[in-house]
């Protein structure tokens, strides 16, 4: 995440630039001051302060600033918003309004992050990145739903993104179940299960994996070194310490205590 500012300028990324260095990432540009036009995939997104757009570093794009400007830029792997890379082609250089819907929430959140970074560094970077990606996933799902509301396949994908954002927001809830997720999205359990079958996984499997991954991050966090391992597991829905240790080892090949020990920095 970084804030860039300057006077009138045009920034272009050509095929030659991509061939020389391609990080394979998506960028989100949030207009903080001035105006810009982001062009990619045959579309132009005209951004006023508060608006944002996505653009893909793997394909040519142009950013045109016609006067002094300030923009907050977030760069991330496309997998962070749990979308197939090809699906982003429908979203690049498409303006997300910072004045309505989830786009407004996303805009205010990122503006606050930019302000805080100007003042000082931010703690809790892992939690912050999770918040950014969960909110972005929900914002993208809302856009897909609006763009392709008559396409059954697109509706299913948009629903799946909303479900994944819901799971991320409720991971620490020990009462999070497939039935509860289905009820929250007004679909049957069977329909929800079929959605996940299209991605060759199960809803319960995703919950388990994401809980284990979050607990692994907490175990590696030096600020939580005094937390008991059982407490870390319980925080992410594993009420039984033995079952948590067994699931962790099955997922990562080591026990929680072994992982925590290996994550500790060497003594000076």
Q: What is the pLDDT of residues 74-92, one digit of tens each?
A: 988 776 666 656 666 778 8
Q: What pLDDT does residue 151 have?
A: 56
Nearest to 31, CA basis, from 90, 129, 97: 97
Q: What residues have CB less than 8 Å from 102, skipping those under 6 apart?
A: 135, 138, 139, 142
Q: At residue 58, does pLDDT exceed 80?
A: yes
Q: What pLDDT does residue 231 have?
A: 92
Q: Which residue has the higher pLDDT, 24 or 228?
A: 228
Predicted confidence band at 254 (pLDDT cuts at 50, 70, 90)?
very high
Angle at which helix 203-220 crosses helix 189-197, to 10 degrees, equals: 70
Instruction: Give the pTM.
Output: 0.57
Distance CA 90, CA 215 (A): 34
Q: At residue 268, does pLDDT exceed 60?
A: no
Q: What pLDDT does residue 50 have?
A: 92
Distance CA 44, CA 185 (A): 34
201-218 pLDDT per residue, tens: 888 888 898 899 889 888
Mean pLDDT across the chain, nearest whole number? 83
Percent of the chain with pLDDT over 70: 87
Distance CA 228, CA 252 (A): 19
Q: Which residue has the higher pLDDT, 71 or 1?
A: 71
Q: What pLDDT does residue 126 have?
A: 56
Q: Where are the beta strands (DSSP E) in 20-178?
A: 25-33, 36-40, 43-47, 52-56, 61-65, 69-77
Q: Could you give the domains of the chain?
A: 2-169 (2.60.120.10), 214-263 (1.10.10)
Q: At residue 245, does pLDDT exceed 80?
A: yes
Q: Which residue has the higher pLDDT, 150 or 3?
A: 3
């Amino acid at each position: 995440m970084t804030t860039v500012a300057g006077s009138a300028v045009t920034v272009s990324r050509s095929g030659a630039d991509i061939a020389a260095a391609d990080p394979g990432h998506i960028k989100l540009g949030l207009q903080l001051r001035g105006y810009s036009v982001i062009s990619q995939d045959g579309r132009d997104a005209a951004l006023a302060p508060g608006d944002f757009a996505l653009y893909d570093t793997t394909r040519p794009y142009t950013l045109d600033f016609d006067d002094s400007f300030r923009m907050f830029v977030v760069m991330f792997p496309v997998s962070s918003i749990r979308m197939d890379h090809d699906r982003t082609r429908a979203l690049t250089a498409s303006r997300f309004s910072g004045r309505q819907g989830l786009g407004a929430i996303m805009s205010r959140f990122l503006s606050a992050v930019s302000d805080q970074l100007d003042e000082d560094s931010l703690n809790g970077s892992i939690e912050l990145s999770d918040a950014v990606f969960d909110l972005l996933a929900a914002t993208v799902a809302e856009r897909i739903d609006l763009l392709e509301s008559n396409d059954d396949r697109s509706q299913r994908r948009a629903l799946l993104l909303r479900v994944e954002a819901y799971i991320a927001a409720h991971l620490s809830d020990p009462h999070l179940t497939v039935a509860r997720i289905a009820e929250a999205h007004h679909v049957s359990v069977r329909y929800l299960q079929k959605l996940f079958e299209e991605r060759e996984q199960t809803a319960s499997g995703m919950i388990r994996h994401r809980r284990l991954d979050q607990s692994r991050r907490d175990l590696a966090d030096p600020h939580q070194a005094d937390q008991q391992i059982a407490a870390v597991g319980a925080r992410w829905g594993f009420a039984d310490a033995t079952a948590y240790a067994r699931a962790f080892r099955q997922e990562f090949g080591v026990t929680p205590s072994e992982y925590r020990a290996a994550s500790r920095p060497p003594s000076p």
